[in-house]
């Protein structure tokens, strides 16, 4: 089962990707993890990526796709994989389609976790992170026992810059400009399925597994 997870930042696609990976015993693959692993191992692809990152530049689509293809051809991905955070743009999606074609493979399903912008701004604005141990909370859904303090270590909880409404709005603008077109791309390929990401996480999970078993 080869799966792509789509959805805006904060839609919860990463959480669902992990659940799918655990249930199907396939790797959950994010570009961030791939970059870190290749940098740590000092691979040729990793060193190439590091050159761009050291200059504060984005890693080119072709190189990112090479890193992803290298990862999905490892033994643990023989039965499939879940891609999370890649592709982000149409050129990346096209590069992935072509690279898979060369090895006689295609993606099976693209799952779009659909959440309106206003819900995401509200959801992310409620997140709080511990300055001590990094634990995360949500003032509505996962509140700490003592307001503003971490249950684990007692340190202060803060609203991270990434989760502030103005930052979230900018991230959503980028998402709509670059990543939203992927929904049309995979719809044209006939593999797009959409779930309502405003439901409780357990209900979203049930909907996704219903699609995967259909």
Residues recognised as catalytic: 13, 88, 127, 160, 171
CA atoms of 186 and 134, how far apart (whole Å): 36
| Residue 143 neighbours by CB distance under 10 Å | 14
Helix H, strand E, coil C: the string for 85-143 is CCCCCHHHHHHHHHHHHHCCCCCCEEEEEECCHHHHHHHHHCEEEECCCCCEEECCCEC
Q: Give the pairing type, strands 81-84 and 127-130.
A: unpaired
Read off the tokens for 166. Answer: 């103005």
| Contact between residue 12 and residue 204 where contact means Cβ atoms under 8 Å apart | yes
| Contact between residue 37 and residue 31 where contact means Cβ atoms under 8 Å apart | no
Q: How far is CA 194 from the centre of its chain?
A: 16
């Amino acid at each position: 089962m080869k799966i792509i997870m789509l959805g805006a930042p904060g839609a919860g696609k990463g959480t669902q990707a992990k659940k799918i990976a655990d249930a199907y015993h396939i790797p959950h693959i994010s570009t961030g993890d791939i970059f870190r692993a290749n940098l740590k191992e000092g691979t040729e692809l990793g060193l190439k990526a590091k050159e761009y990152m050291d200059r504060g530049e984005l890693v080119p689509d072709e190189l990112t796709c090479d890193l992803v293809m290298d990862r999905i051809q490892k033994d643990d991905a023989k039965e499939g994989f879940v891609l999370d955070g890649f592709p982000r743009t149409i050129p990346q999606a096209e590069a992935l389609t072509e690279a898979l074609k060369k090895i006689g493979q295609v993606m099976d399903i693209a799952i779009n976790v659909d959440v309106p912008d206003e819900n995401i701004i509200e959801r992310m604005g409620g997140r709080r992170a511990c300055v001590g141990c990094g634990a995360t909370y949500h003032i509505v859904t996962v509140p700490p026992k003592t307001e503003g303090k971490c249950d684990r270590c007692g340190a202060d909880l803060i609203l991270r810059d990434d989760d502030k409404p103005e930052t979230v709005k900018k991230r959503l603008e980028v998402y709509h400009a670059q990543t939203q077109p992927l929904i049309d791309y995979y719809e044209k390929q006939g593999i797009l399925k959409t779930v309502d990401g405003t439901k409780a996480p357990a209900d979203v999970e049930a909907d996704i597994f219903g699609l995967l078993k259909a």
